Structure formats: structure tokens, C-alpha cells
């Protein structure tokens, strides 16, 4: 299981030596044991003593001496045992003598000549006195032979030859129940005690019965009821307790002779059918069938040698011989396994049978046998592959026998020394567990089982009784681990000792040592701690960590003190892995239990302050070099591959990878001091921002260089890639706070850095760099959009040129522009990332609106011209929105867009539509007017569908303004239906003139023959004009009001679809209005269409009204 040199002496000669001879003076004293050195030191001393002895003796002579004085006596004992064996072994198969001889010859490696020579010596020895040891334990269920219903049982036993028994039976005239009494002499008969008045007697008496041969011999055990003479008074008392059975018993007693005992039953066993040892219940057989069920008796039988030749093994005790034989059998068995794993405690059946024969013949108790197995196995464990479960079994057996049987003094001492010696050996293995038990599942399970065996030893009553001094296994294991850890550290330190005093070699040696320590601590935490905690409740990780902490702190300070004031880049680079390893070790302190004192490596980072600037400079310079190389080889072509297209170039990917080590450096450093950590983060962020800005400038130079020899298409394509690269870089910087865990840093520095200081430093740096990148992106996007803007303006102006107006339809005129935009925007969408494409669309859309507005203001009055521009605006909106995939409607429909759309929409209407819009606006103004500044007029209106007539009754006017010199007016009302193109045949109607009346009462009705469709047409209105009649000049304007015909009862509403339903008339009061001169945009548009007579006539009428208006 473990190397021989890791245990005590393992040669067979020392194993067979009595235990007290193998230890120094006072070895059995616990006080002396505690004064001894550590397990490792004792072990080393033992090895040195053994080595010196072996060097002075020839190995061949030693082997010859061992065979002559150790193995041959044991071999003779086994030859003697085989020759004089009796009984069957407990094995499945019964082996012949030749088979057993062959087995021991191989086990002891004896030649044929040696075997025959030793066989002759054994045959010349005295034969043993063979005997059967019988232990009569108890009986139960016996017959009651006394008047009381009970019996006074006792047993007689003897060994009889079958021939003698038969002759005795033939000599008897009448068969009798007694056989032993008549067939054996008195000295051959053995008797137990008489147990009074019981049917379940217990004797537990041992008898040794000699015999010459088992063939034809049998063991007879007869059980009798002792019959004593009783007085009549006593018999009557017994009779009263059991009348019926008592009478029968009295009658039977009267017939038999006085003093004659009653037969209870017998047992007859053929010796040649018995095993070496028997422990069974045997049924008591009757002589007649009167009472067939007579109970049973518990017997323990064993074939022993009452006397045995003492010259076979030079006076050694049978116990010592048993241990030697057992060890030799085990060694032979293990040697035949040929690497099939550790020994599980099983032997071949021949060996098991021989051990059983020997132990039985020499009457070795089970306790001594288990003790011998423990001593042998525990010693074999130190040199051979013995499974620890074998030791568990023997410890359990010893614990079971401890209270059952008292051991002799010498065996007690041997057991105590063996248990304590195994513990000391186990502690030696524990101290060197790193070297002996490799970190793999099979080895850890072996260590775990060893520790459990040690725990089990300490729990046994034998160990507690034989080792009264205090032995705390928990403390002993912890001390052994501490000692072993220090020795392991010193060994590793010596292995990595630098050959010269060169600082780089010194630092390299320290780095290798710390790496090994880090790995050892990891194994202690992840693997060994589970083993020790589950087995002995020792937190081996805490023990190892605290010891390593103190040892490593001293070593680190001694080494780094040599580097002070001599720091340079190469040394700093060599120190970085040292720092990382120490940091990993320091992080494991969270798993340390019962930390009473501050760990010595708590502020380990202070030793590396001098190297920190060199680490930062190294990271910055290395990253900058990689970025420069990435840009130099970048052809500014988008990468291809994968399910999603990649629109940036190789340098953008390389840049993100190059920045990653700087972020990783921050994570690796994990600087414990919060304030210093904040300054470190400021430096790292500054470096990353500087690298990003430099990358931006290098990209601009690179695209400029590559564009010199390229056509315009390639140049635009490269510029698109540059924009995407910058956008990718901005995205990388956006994730920087999360990547560097600024939130965690903010929490750590909250007590030393204010929120204002934090925000004005780190986020400010990043925002400044991102703003610079955004400006560069906008500049590049503007460059891409500049040509597009120029082309869009050319297409718009070409489309709207007057000379092209009659040649094409509106759709055909706009098609070239839309085809161009579709092609260019598709190209940009394919070559720009979505963010940059959107940033290109927004200014392009804004500029398109400006172009449309500029072009629309350069031409007036041309309807076709504005219709094309209006259609172009609609097409552009659909193009830039792209069904929701382009710019959102919120971005498109700006205030500027609304102005342009309104302007183009109005100019794209024909004259009649403009007049309708004008009237609709007047109706709206009529609804929202407040007050009656110029008076009001009251009407009653309705539309009679059955007659297709519009009925209007003018009731009165009120609060009119005086327009005559006498301070009054001569008002009358004109009614006209507008627009005229809807009502060309309807004449204007007028009321009578009311002289000198500012509140005239008219009460005149008028009817207009118009259709319902005319009344429901857009802009259809009733225009009410109030005039002041003048005889010598034109009438003066009092005011006007507008009423939408859709508001007239019977025109609109829910009854609009019922042709024969007439709605009751309704009264309405309309305030009078005066138009504001030159304020209406629709009139201006109509006025601009000088070639349209209808428009000019309408404008002329309205301008005349405006001249008479009192509004300014």
C-alpha cells in the first residue's frame, strides 16, 4: 500500500520477533512516547539504523539465516499439524494431506530436498496426545421426571469405540437405556454438575476427552435426572402441586429400584464426521418412543492436542508461531496477485484450513487469533498493498472479544504497543501525505481509510485501557500536518534555490516556489480537506494555509528586499506572476476557519508598489503596438463569415481583443487598497481612452492612404468600413464601466472618494473620448451624405424644371430620383451598421426637406410643379421610413417637415379646391369667433329633402354699426350659395331695405332649389352679407357670416340617408365678421394663378370686401 521505507522495519525476522524485542526501552510507556520527536524524525532514525545494519550483513547470508531459524521451524509445525489433523475444516473443500503439503512448500519456498528432510524430522517426533475438548453450555426443553414436573439434570460423557459399544449391547439380556455407564470405565466417564429443579439447565463446563483415532470412535453424551430419596411429607407436598402427574410419577417410582436415576436423552456424534470446531444445538435422542421430544443441548467441540512435541519450533509459543504462519501465508498470497490491487484480507482455502487446524490443535482462542491477525496485518500494511478494511475487521473483532476474554499480560502489552505503533506510523504517513498519497480518487480514499482506522483505534476500549495517558488524535494529526508542511516547504525551497545571485533568477525561483504552494493550497482546499474533516474532523486547509502563510511571508520579504531600488522592466515582468500567485493564495483566506490572528500576507501588495508602474506601462505599450500592427495590415474590408454579416474590419476586432488585456489586468490586480485602486482605475481608463483616440487617427490616415489609388466606389466602401469600425469602438467603450465593474469600485471607495470626484474623473474621461468618436463618426457620415445631398438636389431641380412639366407624368418624373435613392440607401444599409445607417438617414432627410422647401419657393402659381414636389415628399417619406425599418415617424415628421408638407399640399391644389379650402376656413373662423363686434344676424334654416329645397328665413339683425352720417344705417341682407362652381345657376337673394335701423326686423323667407349632394359637397356654404344701402354710391359693408350647409338641419346627421324625411328648421345666430386684408394664404395662392379667370374673379370679390373691411 505504501513504500516500505515509509514505515517501520518490515523484514520477516522482525515481524516474527516478540513485540517487546522490537522496541526500545520504555516503549510501552506513554510518557516516554510523548517525549519522542515528531513521527517523521523517528521514522528517519529507524531508517538510518536499518540501513547501517544491512550494510554490515550479506543479503544472501541474511536470507539463509532467516530461512533456517525462522521459516523452517514454522514449516515443521505445519508438517506436524497436517500429519496429526483431526476433523474437517470450515472451508468448502476438504483437502488431502498431499495437497496441503504442496501448498506449504510453495508458500515457504522450500525445495523438495528441504521438504523431505524436514518431513523426516517431523515423522521422528513424538505423536501428540489428541483430545476432544467438549464444552457443555446448556440445555432446554427437557422432560420433567420428578413429582413436581421438573428434573435435576446432569450429563455424563465419554468417547467410545463403536465395537465396544456393540459388544456391550449384546452382553445385556435386556436392552437398557444406559450405554456410557456400562461400556466405559469410571475414569473414562466425565460428569457435569447436577442442576436442581429445572428444565433449562446451564452448565458451561469444559471437558477434555482423549482419543487415539477418530475412525470408529464416537462421542456419547447422556443426560440423566438425579433421583434422591425423599420423605413421604416431601412427596405429598410435591403431589399437591401437580396431582395427576404426581400420582403417575409415584407409581412409577414404586416400581423402580431405590437410587436409580431417570434417563432424559442422549447424543451420539461420530468423531470422523465432526469439524475442527463445532458450536451447535443437538437434539436429545430417546431410547423409546414414549416421549420422543426430549429437548436439546448446546455443545462446543474442538479437536486439540493435549500434548505436543515441543522441539519443533525451538520453544516458541503457539501464538507467536500462529502469527508467523499467518504472515507467511499472506505474503505468499499477495505475491501471487501480480498487481491486481490491494489485498482484501482473503486467503486461499488451503491456507485458511491450515490456520484453522493449527489454532484448533493448539487451543488458541478466537481473541488470540484475531490479535495475531491484527499484529500481522498492521505490520504488513507498512510494506505491502493491504486494504485498510482488513484492519477495520480485526479492530472490530478485538473490540468484541475485549470484554469476553482476558488476555495474558504479554499479549496485552503486545496489543497496546501494536496499536500505538500503528498510530505513530499513521502520523508519519499523514505528515508525508503529499508524497505518499497522490491527489487522485484512489489515493484519497486510501488516506481516508487510514485516518478512519486511526480514529477507530482511539475509540477501542483496548487502546483506552492500555494507553491511559492523554492521546488527542485531532491534535496529533494537526501537528503532523504542520510538521509535514514545513518539511515540504523547505524541500521545495531547496529544489528551487537559484544557482547564482542574479536578481532575475532569484525572482524566478520565488515564482516557481509560490506556484507550487498555490497548487498545494488548492489541493488542500478542494481535495484533502474533505478527507481530513470527514475522517478526523481536522480542517487541514486551515492548518496548511496558516503555516504556509507564515513561511511564505518570511520568504517573500527576504527575497523582495534584495530587489528594492533596483527595479526595472524585466524584473517587474518577472514579479507579475508572483503577485498573481500571492493574490490567488490570499483570496483563499476566506475559507480559513478560526482565524484568531491577522494573516501575515494580508498587505502583501505593498511589496509590489514599485513594480506597479512598470506593469501598467507594459500593458499600455504592448496594446499600442498590437493596435498599430492591426491597422497596418487592415485593408478596410468588411469581415465575412458566420450567420450574421460583420460590417467592420479586422482592426476593430483586434482592437477589442487588444483592450481586453488591460481590462483583464485590472481584474488580475484586484488592488486591495480602495483609494489606490481608484487611482489605478483612472490610469487604466486614461490609457484605454488614449489608445482609442490613437486608433481613430490611425484609421483616418489608413483610409486616406488606401483611397489615393482607388476609384470613388472603393473609397466610399472603405469610408463605410471606417465608420463601422469607429462605431464598434464606441460600443466597446460603452461597455467599459460594466467590464471594469465601476459600480463595485464605487461601493469600495464610497468612504474615501465623493460622488462628485468619482463622476468628474472616470465617467468624464470616458464621455470625452466617446464625444470625440461621435464627432469623427458624424464627420465621416457627413462626407458620405454630402454627395447624396448634391445628387438629390439635382434630381429634384431636374424633375421640377418648367421645360419638363408637360413631357412626363408626375410618377414618371419622380421615378429617377427614387431609383437613385433606393440604390444608394440599399448600398449604405449593406455596408453600414444600423447605428451609422440611421445617423446617415437623419441628416439626409433633413437636407431633403430643405431642398424641397428651397425649390418650392422659387416657383409660384404652377400647379403641376407643386404636385410633383408634393408627390416627391410623399415618396421620400415612404423611402426613409421603409415600412418601419428605417427612421421612425417621430423622427421624420418634424416641424420643418410639417411646414414643407403644408406649403406643398396647398400649392398642389387646383383653384376650385383652394376656394373650397378658403370657405372651410371661413366657416371655422365663424365657429371660433367670440363677441359681436360688428353685430349679428339671426336665421331659421332647414333643407326639405322631399322638395330638394333649401329654406332660409332671415329674422333680424342686431347691433349693426352705423355707416350713414346720421348715425344710423339702411341695412338689407344678401344670401348667396358658395362656391360658385358648385351652385352656378343659383342667384343671390336679398331682403328689403330697412331705413335708419341698426336692429332691423326682416322676417323674410327664401328658398333655393339645390340637391342634397350639392349641399354636402366640400366647402358648400351659405354666405350672409349685411349691406348699408346708399342711393348715390355703392352700398357700404356692414359685415358677413358663413354657415356650412352641412350644419343645416336636413343636410347632415343621422337622417341624411332618408330622402323623404324633412327635418324641422332650426334658428341660428351668426356674429358678423370683417375680413383681414392680405391675411389669407389661400387667396394669395389663388391670386398667384393669374391665368385662371375663375380664381382671379373670386380673388377680386374678396379683395373688394377686404377694402371695405374695418379690420386692419
pLDDT at 277 over 90: yes
**Cα gap 733→725, rounded to integer Å:** 12
- Cα–Cα distances in angstroms (integers) from residue 805 to residues 720, 813, 820, 863, in the given order: 38, 9, 20, 10
In 3D, which of 18, 19, 17, 15 has the Cα closest to residue 4?
15
Q: Backbone dihedral region of 989: left (phi > 0), alpha (psi from -120 to 50 degrees) or beta?
A: beta
pLDDT at 230 over 80: no
**Cα angle for residues 1076, 1082, 1085 (degrees, 5° grid):** 120
Assigned C-alpha cell, 332? 505468499
- Cα–Cα distances in angstroms (integers) from residue 431 to residues 39, 59, 358, 457, 617, in the given order: 8, 31, 40, 19, 45
What pLDDT does 29 receive?
36
Average pLDDT, rounded, for the chain: 83
Q: In this structure, what DSSP letter does residue 288 have?
A: S
Model confidence band, residue 290 (pLDDT cutoffs 50, 70, 90): low
pLDDT at 89 over 50: yes
Q: Calculate mean pLDDT across residues 677-683.
A: 89
Cis peptide before 979 (omega within 30 of 0): yes
Helix (H, G, I), strand (E, B) or coil at 931: coil
**Cα gap 601→578, rounded to integer Å:** 13
Q: pLDDT tens-digit profile of 96-117?
A: 989 999 999 999 999 999 999 9
Q: pLDDT tens-digit profile of 414-425?
A: 888 888 889 999
Q: pLDDT tens-digit profile of 446-477?
A: 888 889 999 988 888 888 888 767 788 889 99
Of 29-38, 155-164, 368-377, 527-536, where does mean pLDDT reach its minimum? 29-38
What pLDDT does 957 receive?
94
Q: pLDDT tens-digit profile of 297-344?
A: 999 999 999 888 888 877 788 888 999 999 888 888 888 876 666 777
- Please give the residue that has the higher pLDDT: either 180 or 981: 981
What pLDDT does 247 receive?
54
What pLDDT does 712 receive?
76
**Cα angle for residues 330, 336, 341 (degrees, 5° grid):** 85
Strand partners, 937: 957, 1070
Q: In this structure, what DSSP letter does residue 315 have?
A: T
* Burial per residue of 88-123, b for 16 or more beta-carbon CB atoms within 10 angstroms, e otherwise: bbeeeeebeeeebbebbbebbebeeebbeebbeebe
**Cα gap 554→552, rounded to integer Å:** 5
**pTM for the full predicted model:** 0.62
**Is the C-alpha dihedral spanning 838, 841, 847, 848 positive or negative?**
negative
**Cα gap 284→143, rounded to integer Å:** 11
**Cα gap 546→558, rounded to integer Å:** 19
What is the maximal distance between C-alpha atoms in the chain? Answer: 192
On whether the CB atoms of residues 178 and 172 are closer than 8 A, the answer is no
What pLDDT does 1013 receive?
92
What pLDDT does 911 receive?
85
On whether the CB atoms of residues 619 and 665 are closer than 8 A, the answer is yes
In this structure, the number of other CB atoms found within 10 A of the CB of residue 347 comes to 16
How do beta strands 1021-1028 and 1036-1044 pair? antiparallel
Of 274-288, 564-578, 631-645, 951-965, where does mean pLDDT reach its minimum? 631-645
Of 795-804, 826-835, 900-909, where does mean pLDDT reach its minimum? 795-804
**Cα gap 81→85, rounded to integer Å:** 6
Helix (H, G, I), strand (E, B) or coil at 419: helix
Q: Calculate mean pLDDT across residues 267-284.
A: 92
pLDDT at 933 over 50: yes
**Cα gap 1074→1106, rounded to integer Å:** 8
pLDDT at 808 over 70: no
**HSE of 936 in the Cβ direction (CA atoms, 13 Å)?**
11
**Cα gap 449→57, rounded to integer Å:** 37
What pLDDT does 21 receive?
34
**Cα gap 867→904, rounded to integer Å:** 7
pLDDT at 920 over 50: yes
pLDDT at 1026 over 90: yes
pLDDT at 536 over 60: yes
What pLDDT does 33 receive?
37
Amino acid at each position: 500500500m505504501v513504500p516500505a521505507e515509509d514505515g517501520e522495519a518490515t523484514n520477516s525476522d522482525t515481524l516474527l520477533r516478540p513485540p517487546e524485542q522490537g522496541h526500545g526501552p520504555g516503549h510501552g510507556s506513554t510518557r516516554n512516547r510523548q517525549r519522542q520527536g515528531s513521527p517523521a524524525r523517528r521514522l528517519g532514525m529507524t531508517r538510518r539504523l536499518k540501513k547501517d545494519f544491512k550494510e554490515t550483513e550479506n543479503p544472501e547470508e541474511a536470507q539463509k539465516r532467516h530461512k533456517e531459524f525462522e521459516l523452517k521451524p514454522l514449516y515443521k509445525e505445519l508438517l506436524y499439524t497436517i500429519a496429526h489433523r483431526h476433523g474437517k475444516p470450515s472451508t468448502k473443500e476438504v483437502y488431502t494431506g498431499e495437497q496441503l503439503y504442496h501448498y506449504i512448500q510453495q508458500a515457504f519456498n522450500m525445495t523438495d530436498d528441504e521438504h523431505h528432510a524436514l518431513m523426516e524430522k517431523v515423522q521422528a517426533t513424538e505423536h501428540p496426545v489428541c483430545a476432544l475438548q467438549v464444552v457443555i453450555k446448556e440445555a432446554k426443553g427437557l422432560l420433567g421426571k420428578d413429582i413436581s414436573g421438573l428434573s435435576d439434570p446432569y450429563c455424563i460423557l465419554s468417547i467410545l469405540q463403536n465395537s465396544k459399544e456393540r459388544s456391550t449391547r449384546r452382553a445385556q439380556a435386556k436392552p437398557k437405556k444406559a450405554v456410557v455407564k456400562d461400556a466405559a470405565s469410571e475414569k473414562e466417564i466425565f460428569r457435569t454438575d447436577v442442576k436442581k429443579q429445572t428444565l433449562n439447565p446451564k452448565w458451561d463446563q469444559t471437558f477434555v476427552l482423549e482419543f487415539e483415532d477418530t475412525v470408529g470412535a464416537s462421542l456419547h453424551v447422556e443426560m440423566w435426572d438425579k433421583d434422591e430419596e425423599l420423605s413421604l411429607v416431601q412427596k405429598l407436598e410435591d403431589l399437591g402441586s401437580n396431582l395427576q402427574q404426581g400420582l403417575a410419577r409415584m407409581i412409577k417410582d414404586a416400581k423402580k429400584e431405590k437410587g436409580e436415576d431417570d434417563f432424559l436423552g442422549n447424543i451420539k456424534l461420530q468423531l470422523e464426521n465432526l469439524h475442527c470446531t463445532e458450536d451447535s444445538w443437538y437434539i436429545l435422542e430417546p431410547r423409546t418412543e414414549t416421549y420422543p421430544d426430549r429437548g436439546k443441548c448446546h455443545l462446543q467441540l474442538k479437536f486439540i492436542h493435549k500434548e505436543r512435541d515441543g522441539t519443533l519450533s525451538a520453544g516458541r509459543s503457539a501464538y507467536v508461531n500462529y502469527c508467523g504462519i499467518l504472515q507467511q501465508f499472506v505474503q505468499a498470497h499477495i505475491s501471487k496477485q501480480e498487481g491486481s490491487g490491494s489485498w482484501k484480507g482473503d486467503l486461499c482455502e488451503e491456507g485458511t484450513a491450515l490456520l484453522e487446524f493449527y489454532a484448533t490443535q493448539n487451543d488458541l482462542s478466537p481473541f488470540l487469533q484475531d490479535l495475531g491477525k491484527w499484529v500481522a496485518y498492521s505490520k504488513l500494511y507498512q510494506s505491502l498493498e493491504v486494504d485498510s478494511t482488513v484492519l477495520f475487521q480485526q479492530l472490530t473483532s478485538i473490540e468484541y472479544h475485549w470484554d469476553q476474554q482476558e488476555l495474558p499480560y504479554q499479549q496485552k502489552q503486545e496489543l497496546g504497543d501494536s496499536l500505538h505503533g500503528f498510530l505513530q506510523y499513521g502520523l508519519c504517513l499523514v505528515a508525508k501525505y503529499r508524497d505518499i498519497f497522490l491527489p487522485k480518487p484512489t489515493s484519497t480514499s486510501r488516506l481516508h481509510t487510514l485516518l478512519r482506522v486511526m480514529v477507530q483505534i482511539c475509540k477501542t476500549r483496548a487502546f483506552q485501557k492500555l494507553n491511559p495517558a492523554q492521546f488527542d488524535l485531532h491534535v496529533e494529526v494537526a501537528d503532523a500536518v504542520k510538521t509535514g508542511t514545513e518539511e515540504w516547504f523547505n524541500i521545495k525551497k531547496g529544489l528551487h534555490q537559484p544557482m547564482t545571485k542574479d536578481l532575475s533568477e532569484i525572482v524566478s525561483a520565488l515564482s516557481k516556489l509560490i506556484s507550487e504552494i498555490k497548487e498545494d493550497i488548492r489541493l488542500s482546499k478542494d481535495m484533502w480537506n474533505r478527507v481530513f474533516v470527514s475522517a478526523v474532523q481536522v480542517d487541514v486547509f486551515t492548518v496548511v494555509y496558516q503555516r504556509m502563510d507564515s513561511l511564505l511571508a518570511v520568504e517573500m520579504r527576504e527575497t523582495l528586499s534584495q530587489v528594492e531600488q533596483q527595479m526595472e522592466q524585466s524584473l517587474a515582468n518577472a514579479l507579475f506572476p508572483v503577485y498573481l500567485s500571492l493574490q490567488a493564495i490570499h483570496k483563499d483566506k476566506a475559507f480559513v476557519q478560526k482565524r484568531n490572528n491577522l494573516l501575515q500576507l494580508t498587505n502583501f501588495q505593498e511589496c509590489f508598489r514599485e513594480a506597479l508602474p512598470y506593469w501598467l506601462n507594459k500593458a499600455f505599450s504592448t496594446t499600442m503596438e498590437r493596435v498599430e500592427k492591426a491597422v497596418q495590415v487592415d485593408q478596410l474590408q468588411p469581415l465575412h463569415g458566420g450567420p450574421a454579416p460583420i460590417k467592420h474590419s479586422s482592426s476593430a476586432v483586434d482592437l477589442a481583443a487588444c483592450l481586453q488585456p488591460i481590462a483583464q489586468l485590472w481584474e488580475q490586480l484586484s488592488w486591495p487598497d480602495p483609494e489606490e485602486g481608484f487611482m489605478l482605475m483612472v490610469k487604466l481608463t486614461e490609457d484605454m481612452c488614449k489608445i482609442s483616440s490613437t486608433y481613430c487617427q490611425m484609421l483616418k490616415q489608413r483610409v486616406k492612404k488606401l483611397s489615393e489609388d482607388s476609384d470613388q466606389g472603393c473609397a466610399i466602401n472603405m469610408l463605410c468600413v471606417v465608420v463601422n469600425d469607429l462605431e464598434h469602438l464606441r460600443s466597446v467603450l460603452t461597455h467599459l464601466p460594466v467590464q471594469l465593474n465601476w459600480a463595485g469600485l464605487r461601493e469600495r471607495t464610497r468612504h474615501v472618494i465623493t460622488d462628485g470626484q468619482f463622476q468628474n474623473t472616470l465617467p468624464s474621461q470616458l464621455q470625452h473620448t466617446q464625444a470625440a468618436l461621435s464627432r469623427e463618426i458624424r464627420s465621416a457620415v457627413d462626407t458620405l451624405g454630402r454627395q447624396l445631398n448634391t445628387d438629390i438636389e439635382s434630381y429634384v431641380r431636374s424633375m421640377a424644371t418648367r421645360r419638363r412639366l408637360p413631357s412626363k407624368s408626375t410618377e414618371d418624373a419622380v421615378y429617377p430620383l427614387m431609383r437613385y435613392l433606393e440604390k444608394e440607401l440599399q448600398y449604405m444599409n449593406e455596408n453600414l451598421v444600423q447605428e451609422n445607417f440611421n445617423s446617415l438617414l437623419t441628416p439626409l432627410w433633413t437636407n431633403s426637406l430643405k431642398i424641397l422647401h428651397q425649390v418650392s419657393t422659387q416657383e409660384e402659381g404652377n400647379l403641376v410643379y407643386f404636385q410633383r414636389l408634393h408627390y416627391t415628399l410623399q415618396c421620400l417619406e415612404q423611402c426613409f421610413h421603409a415600412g418601419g425599418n428605417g427612421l421612425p415617424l417621430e423622427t421624420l415628421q418634424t416641424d420643418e417637415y410639417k411646414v414643407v408638407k403644408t406649403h406643398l399640399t396647398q400649392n398642389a391644389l387646383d383653384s376650385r379646391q383652394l376656394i373650397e379650402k378658403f370657405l372651410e376656413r371661413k366657416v371655422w373662423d365663424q365657429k371660433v369667433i367670440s363677441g359681436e363686434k360688428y353685430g349679428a344676424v339671426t336665421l331659421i334654416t332647414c333643407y326639405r329633402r322631399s322638395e330638394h329645397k333649401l329654406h332660409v328665413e332671415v329674422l333680424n339683425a342686431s347691433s349693426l354699426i352705423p355707416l350713414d352720417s346720421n348715425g344710423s344705417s339702411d341695412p338689407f341682407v344678401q344670401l348667396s350659395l358658395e362656391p360658385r362652381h358648385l351652385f352656378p345657376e343659383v342667384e343671390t337673394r336679398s331682403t328689403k331695405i330697412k331705413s335708419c335701423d341698426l336692429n332691423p326686423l326682416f322676417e323674410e323667407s327664401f328658398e333655393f332649389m339645390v340637391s342634397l349632394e350639392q349641399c354636402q359637397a366640400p366647402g358648400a356654404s351659405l354666405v350672409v352679407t349685411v349691406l348699408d344701402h346708399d342711393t348715390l354710391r355703392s352700398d357700404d359693408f356692414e359685415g358677413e357670416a358663413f354657415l356650412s350647409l352641412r350644419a343645416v338641419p336636413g343636410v347632415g346627421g343621422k337622417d341624411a340617408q332618408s330622402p323623404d324625411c324633412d327635418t324641422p328648421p332650426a334658428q341660428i345666430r351668426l356674429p358678423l365678421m370683417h375680413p383681414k386684408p392680405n391675411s389669407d394664404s389661400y387667396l394669395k395662392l389663388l391670386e398667384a394663378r393669374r391665368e385662371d379667370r375663375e380664381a382671379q374673379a373670386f380673388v377680386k370679390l374678396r379683395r373688394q370686401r377686404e377694402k371695405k373691411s374695418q379690420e386692419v
